[in-house]
């Protein structure tokens, strides 16, 4: 079984967010980019574990993005992925990204596609389900455990008000959430090895942009915190009841 | 041509998030000069009544044993058939567990542009829709344009209060043909999360959340007492879940669940940016922290500086008193 892990390139979680060009695009100046945490900590690490356990033969990264994402892809290779593919086109329309990944996985006989639960910049939780719809493969969302017995996967995933354990045969798409694996730190050997691992660049197919972003706006912060004395909690209860009207 | 709204029954009731979607879809239909059709599977008369009260003009009521679980292959196939039969150009889901699986799968099938997690009504602009959603984990919003012929929107729960009116809906008993739909997913076991009586976190209006400041799992009794007095759902910061003080499904923030309740009470949580990313959409935020420099106070509406261990019991009593007086 060959595993394709979809990784997205996102601003570091502590990055200061600002916009450029009349608030029409993200201002990347001075921002550090990382692999989307769900893709790295859960999807990629679990894929590597499956390979180490002899249950997968190859772990390939796929990223839809321009050449400036290659540093992020190298980090994924340093963690232990065998190789990487970069589809040479700008995101972030989820459908366009999903189309690229769907096509690549079908054309190259990948039977398991792992995506993250959501990207921390566009928060769509969409790409995995779209790949499922485009390929007609099974899609298991918000998975917290994934294991294989031969070609049958056992997956624990979130449902409304709890979790369920399902079995599913290949091919399939799984979106990965917390619980599936533990974060790893790349070591020196991994970093050295990553330098020579191949990143194949592939031109995109189609140019469906079903959605586009017209403008951004920073969320407004809160005005000011009203402090209440710790010996007067009744005042807080009163304010919540009469001023905020939330209880 | 109608606006199609996917609704769901959970624990015998129409989900609150679904009623929000019916309200939302009805308003979109109005602004587009069309009608709102709700879809529901295996609903009884009372449930249909409630969907009608939320503003649907027609309800497609489907009874089918295959449509009881959470399998997105089957659910998507059913909604796809209904949407095609209705000629729907706009399809509305909740941005909840099921909506996060079915809406994108349907998008892939229909080649329909999807905005996932809308927070406001769309603006109709010619043949496109402009929809606002949160991006950068709540640090910003973006206006998305949907350019495709069929458009899908999933609505972030708790974005609008539910408004119920007179039921004017016509109910159409409808069937779908699922004989050709093969799902390779077999359910082996269902585990419901421990707290059967409280509202699930993503839907909760009131949330009491605690962090590492509580020192250890043995001290959570007073957090639960406060939550019980309020009728609130409990949540926690990431390290608390990582150390197994609390179950993983309580973890809120960038890598946990994003919530936007009416009231979020944060106890012994420092207010790291990754935590805020999951809670800063809350309407009112109360922070209780012994450190007056805790960053969370900058994002709070009300704050108490002090020791949670002495404040919580007093706060619980004060809440109980208020409840007793208003009954
Ligand atoms: C990529 C990434 C993603 C992350 N995702 C998340 C996420 O989703 N959710 C999340 O929560 N974190 C997340 N984190 C971790 C985050 O950065 C913080 O480390 C974490 O939120 C801190 O948790 P805490 O506030 O409970 O603990 P601490 O930071 O240790 O804060 C404890 C607080 O309790 C106060 N306190 C101590 N004793 C008392 C007392 N007796 N009474 C009252 N107050 C007291 C202290 O003053 C302090 O402010 C993420 C980090 C990274 C790098
Ligand atoms: N540009 C991209 N290239 C590769 N994978 C992506 C890209 N964008 C999103 N993904 C994958 O899809 C998942 C869900 O993304 P989203 O639907 O944007 O929340 C991410 O966690 C990634 O695994």
Q: What is the pLDDT of residues B242-281, one digit of tens each?
A: 999 999 889 999 888 889 899 999 999 999 999 999 999 8
What stretches in chain A show pLDDT beneath 70? none
A 10 A CB-CB count for A60 gives 20
Indicate if the pLDDT at residue B194 is higher than 60. Answer: no
- Tell me what pLDDT residue B249 has: 87
Of B102, B146, B318, the CB nearest to A234: B318
Q: CA angle, A183 as apex, A180 and A189 as ends, to 5°?
A: 130
**Complex prediction ipTM:** 0.92
Of B190, B263, B321, the CB nearest to A246: B263
**What does the pLDDT average to over B281-296?**
96
Minimal CA–CA distance to A101: which of A143, A150, A134? A134
Strands (DSSP E) contained in chain A are 2-6, 9-11, 19-20, 25-26, 33-35, 58-64, 83-87, 112-116, 138-149, 152-159, 162-169, 172-176, 199-202, 211-218, 226-227
**What does the pLDDT average to over B214-242?**
97
Distance from C-alpha of B224 to C-alpha of B233, rounded to nearest angstrom: 9
User: Do B309 and B290 contact (CB within 8 A), yes or no?
Assistant: no
B193 or B299, greater pLDDT? B299
Pairing assessment for the beta strands B9-10 and B13-14 based on DSSP bridges = antiparallel
Distance from C-alpha of B278 to C-alpha of B172, rounded to nearest angstrom: 40
- Tell me what pLDDT residue A206 has: 86
* Both tokens assigned to B148: 């495709």
- Tell me what pLDDT residue B248 has: 87
Q: What is the DSSP string of B102-170?
A: HHHHHHHHHT-EEEEEE-SPPEEETTEEEEEEEEGGGTEEEEEEE-SSSEEEEEPTTSS--------PE
- Tell me what pLDDT residue B196 has: 55
Side-chain half-sphere of B75: how many Cα atoms within 13 Å?
26
Check if B242 has its Cβ closer than 6 Å to any atom of ligand 1.
Answer: no
User: Do A101 and A131 contact (CB within 8 A), yes or no?
Assistant: yes
Q: CA angle, A166 as apex, A162 and A172 as ends, to 5°?
A: 120
Check if B138 has its Cβ closer than 6 Å to any atom of ligand 1.
Answer: no
- Tell me what pLDDT residue B158 has: 86
Torsion of CA B152, B156, B158, B159, to 10 degrees: -80
Mutate-to-test residue for ligand 2 from A7, A47, A122, highest number of ligand atoms within 8 A of CB = A7
Mutate-to-test residue for ligand 2 from A97, A117, A120, A201, highest number of ligand atoms within 8 A of CB = A97
B 111-170 → A contacts, CB under 8 A: 111-117, 130, 133-148
- Tell me what pLDDT residue A33 has: 97
Alpha-carbon distance B175 to nearest alpha carbon in chain A (angstroms): 22
Indicate if the pLDDT at residue B168 is higher than 90. Answer: yes
A 10 A CB-CB count for B199 gives 17
User: Do A226 and B301 contact (CB within 8 A), yes or no?
Assistant: yes
DSSP bridge partners of A227: B303
Mean pLDDT across chain B: 94
Q: What is the pLDDT of residues A160-189, one digit of tens each?
A: 878 999 999 999 999 999 889 999 999 999
Minimal CA–CA distance to B153: which of B304, B14, B28, B288? B28
């Amino acid at each position: 079984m060959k595993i394709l892990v979809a990784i997205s390139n996102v601003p570091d979680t502590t990055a200061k967010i600002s916009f450029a060009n009349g608030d029409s695009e993200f201002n990347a100046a001075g921002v550090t980019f990382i692999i989307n945490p769900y893709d790295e900590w859960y999807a990629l690490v679990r894929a590597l574990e499956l390979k180490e356990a002899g249950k997968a033969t190859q772990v390939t990264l796929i990223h839809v993005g321009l050449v400036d994402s290659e540093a992020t892809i190298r980090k994924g290779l340093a963690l232990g992925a065998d190789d990487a593919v970069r589809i040479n086109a700008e995101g972030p329309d989820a459908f366009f990204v999903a189309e690229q990944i769907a096509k690549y996985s079908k054309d190259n006989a990948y039977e398991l596609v792992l995506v993250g639960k959501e990207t921390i910049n566009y928060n769509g939780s969409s790409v995995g389900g779209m790949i499922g719809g485009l390929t007609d493969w099974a899609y298991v969302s918000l998975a917290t455990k994934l294991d294989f017995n031969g070609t049958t996967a056992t997956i624990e995933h979130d449902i409304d008000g709890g979790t369920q354990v399902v079995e599913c045969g290949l091919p399939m798409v799984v979106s990965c959430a917390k619980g599936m694996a533990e974060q790893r730190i790349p070591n020196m050997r991994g970093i050295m090895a990553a330098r020579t691992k191949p990143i194949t660049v592939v031109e995109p197919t189609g140019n469906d942009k079903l959605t586009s972003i017209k403008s951004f706006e920073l969320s407004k912060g809160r005005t000011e915190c009203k402090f209440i004395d710790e010996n007067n909690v009744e005042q807080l209860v009163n304010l919540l009841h009469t001023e905020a009207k939330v209880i | 041509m109608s606006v199609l709204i996917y609704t769901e029954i959970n624990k015998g009731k129409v989900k609150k998030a679904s009623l929000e979607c019916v309200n939302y879809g009805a308003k979109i239909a109005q602004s587009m000069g069309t009608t709102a059709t709700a879809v529901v599977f295996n609903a009884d008369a009372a449930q249909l009544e409630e969907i009608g009260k939320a503003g649907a003009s027609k309800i497609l009521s489907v009874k089918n044993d295959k449509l009881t679980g959470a399998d997105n292959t089957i659910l998507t196939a059913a909604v796809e058939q209904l949407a095609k039969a209705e000629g729907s150009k706009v399809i509305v889901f909740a941005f909840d567990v099921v909506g996060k699986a079915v809406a994108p799968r349907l998008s892939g099938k229909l080649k329909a542009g999807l905005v996932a997690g809308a927070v406001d009504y769309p603006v109709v602009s010619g043949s496109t829709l402009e929809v606002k959603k949160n991006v950068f984990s709540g640090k910003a919003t973006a206006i998305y344009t949907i350019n495709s012929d069929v458009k899908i929107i999933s609505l972030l729960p708790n974005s609008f209060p539910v408004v119920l009116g007179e039921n004017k809906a016509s109910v159409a008993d409808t069937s779908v043909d699922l004989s050709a739909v093969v799902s390779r997913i077999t359910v082996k076991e269902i585990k419901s999360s421990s707290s059967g009586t409280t509202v699930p976190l993503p839907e909760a209006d009131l949330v009491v959340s605690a962090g590492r400041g509580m020192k250890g799992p043995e001290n959570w009794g007073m957090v639960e007492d406060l939550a019980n007095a309020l009728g609130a759902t409990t949540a926690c910061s990431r390290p608390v879940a990582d150390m197994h003080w609390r179950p993983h499904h309580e973890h809120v923030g960038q890598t946990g669940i994003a919530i936007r309740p009416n009231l979020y009470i944060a106890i012994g949580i420092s207010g790291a940016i990754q935590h805020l990313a999951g809670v800063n959409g809350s309407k009112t935020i109360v922070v209780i922290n012994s450190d007056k420099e805790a960053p969370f106070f900058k994002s709070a509406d009300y704050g108490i500086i002090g020791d949670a261990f002495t404040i919580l019991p007093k706060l619980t009593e004060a809440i109980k008193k208020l409840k007793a007086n208003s009954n």
